[in-house]
Structure 1
Amino acid sequence: MPAQAKVSDAEAAKLKDELTPYGAPRKGNGKDIPAWTGGITEAPKDYERPGQHHPNPFADEKPLFTIDSTNLAKYAPAMSDGLQAMVKTYASSFKVPVYTSHRTHAAPKWVYENTFENAKSAQLVDGGNGIKGAYGGVPFPILDGTDEQKGLQAIWNHITRYRGIFVTRKASDVAVQRNGEYTLVTSQQEVYFNYYNPEGSAKTLDNILFYYLSFNIAPARKAGGAVLIHETVDQVKEPRQAWGYDSGQRRVRKAPNLAYDSPIADAEGLRTADDTDMYNGSPDRYDWKYMGIREMYIPYNSYKLSQGDVTYDQLLDNSHLNPDLLRFEKQRVHVVEAKLKKGERHIYGKRVFYIDADSWNVAMVDQYDTRDELWRVSMAHLKNFYELPTTWTTVDAFYDLRSMRYHVQGMDSEEKTAKMFTGEAPSRRYFSPQALRRRGR
């Protein structure tokens, strides 16, 4: 596939009035999706310090209605196949509470400015397995080209979306069994988004999108184990680099298999490497197709899930997250389908992504096996991190409809501090394989 051409100055100018700075329609639909008026750009008065669990700006709101097995048919046209399957599979317990829609997404002015410039310069590299000519903003706010090119542009917008510059968090993941039992795996994670370094440029990227470091804290048998990733922008030029530290052997080893459908051990096989963040890594094993923009119910403004007074036992039901803590809203989404290429290997034969049009976050994914049967459903419960501001996930949930087990990533409501963002990051030596050994110990 040839490299995709950037849009014209006239097309890019739409980002100043007709479209939001990220490329979504500014106008509402005149019914249940409002106009975008800038989103949440300041923290509320009761947000007092970095790392504080976010006060819910919509705490007084009640659901407009709740979708369950008795009224599913009425609302199905605005639901993904996966969300409908969740209601059918867990007919006696899973519900979809739908609230008033709020278009809360916002980003810093400098990210908007970079996104505007990217619209006129960003390109997919040959094959679509990387990007060039973009920096510090969404590369393709206006999708352009063939349906294949648009699908790849949309997924790269998700991969490169703004999530701060340097973020640290202590959080817990769980794999919940059918009887409701689970064991917490707690880790410390640090990410430096090199692509958003305000002192850099496309020329200084050195092909590094971000550095990721994670080391286990609990349980004791896993403590000290660590993972380091150098994620690349152009994965044709250089694929992801990954290392693992084994605390028992006290050795750092290359981890070339930490990609695609490699199972994540702590998720007990319920999440693949490229399921993390709803999708990450090279898109080269799939044929991509843009399916258009739709109005759908997605997890949004999910502040309840990370309130400091919510325990993990309250959050986790036997088969799924507690519906009383969930919040869905009708929002516009880009629908992108990925089908496994002939001759390639992956446990998912097809994936359908539902990408929030305002923020380019993948909100939901339907995952099919190689027989084209729906197998798994993934959900990113989004909210505005108004201290930056940006839209990102509070927790991610991965449901296996066959085993009726599920995995949850990123829980922090029982931690003393939530995600912490800073504008400065350590030196690149901090994210070296040599430093990985020291951090693991």
Structure 2
Amino acid sequence: MAPEKIIIDTDPGVDDILALLLALSASAEEIELLLVSLTFGNIDVENCLRNAISLFHVLEKELAWRKANGKPLGYESLRKCKPIVAVGAEQPLDEQILMADYFHGVDGLGGVHSKAPHFTPEELFRHLFHSPSASSAQIPPENPVSLPHEALFTPSSAPAYLEILSQLKKNPPHTVTIVAVGPLTNLALAAAHDPETFLLVKEVVIMSGTIEMEGNVTPTAEFNSYADAVAVARVFALTSPSPKSTLPPCKSLKPYPDNLSEKLKLTIFPLDLTTMHLLNEAEFNSITNVLKDNGSPLAQWCHVFINATFRKMESLYAAEAGSSEKRVQDVDISLHDPLCVWYMITKQIPGWRAVEDRDIRVDATGQWTRGMYVVDRRTRKKPTLEEMGEAAEVEGDCDGWLHPLWGNRIRQMVFSPDQDAFGKEMIRRIFL
């Protein structure tokens, strides 16, 4: 069976790094990671680039350590196909920038670059990458440049959105899936620049939003949807039979053409599902402590920022409980972003369940509800086209929620197989 060809669009913080490691540690038959496209999000895009390059630097050290100690190398996907890394959006389309450095630290990885500087490469090769402030129109998308020495990635001088389109053109139609685990700005830019090429994607899988749960940055919004709500709404609109019916106002990008050749297949992993997939601290330590003590560079590097995240969660738990006491074995991290990659690895396994064709819309302009995922909770029946006849809209229905050709068609993932076992399996794959 051919591997799943994927692009990971990411703002590398802690769970983004775990998602990348999970993809790179997959077997060559499971995943072929073509491109890592970087966007602002948890932190600014400059720090995202530093974190991504540091990841590959640490993996170089890890593979050398495993070889020297007679251990299985693993990381077949990475060793067979080193991905391109491209730098993308540094700010949202039309909105004030929001970052999550209050949670992950100013570097996005709990201060790992100051706490363990020997894992951060001295040369980040910034000159080989696209500069977000430069004019993208002058940068060719087809010519990734080479590092001056052997490395596990290839830097691109093209902006991320053009590199995404380039990968979709190079590969057969509907064979590449985009897994987006940060704000969707790069995807929105790619879709606006060339919507027909963007629609050559097999599927877009995103970690974004919340339906029934409370938000994690506002009462109603999850971070990725809040950080660039306009971008999310524009990508969602491509799932609609009539994209203009849900297209938000946008000063920086033009509307889509009236007639597109097909609709986008889009699957969302909201907080409702991802929050329930946990990595427990005691479980993490039981697998990685011995490796860390024996000199594994990957275990030593990851311990710095994962333990910083456990301590952050411990303080949040204690604040909620009104107590400073919390048992170590009770501390855990939700695996929001890795779950999307796990879906790509195991999607053929029975147990994944989704609700199809949900009309989920994103509030891109609300003062208090920016980034909120809105669904129609009314019980009115949606008429068929035959029942509609010549009517332009359903009586008593504003914004076309009941119109058979209006609204989005989103696939919402609601259940995964082996929810309780995922955290341990992820750590086993990454470190053993």
Q: Same fold (TM over 0.5)?
A: no
Q: Which has the larger radius of gyration?
A: 2
* Greater helix content: 2
Higher strand content, 1 or 2: 1
Normalised TM-score (structure 1): 0.27
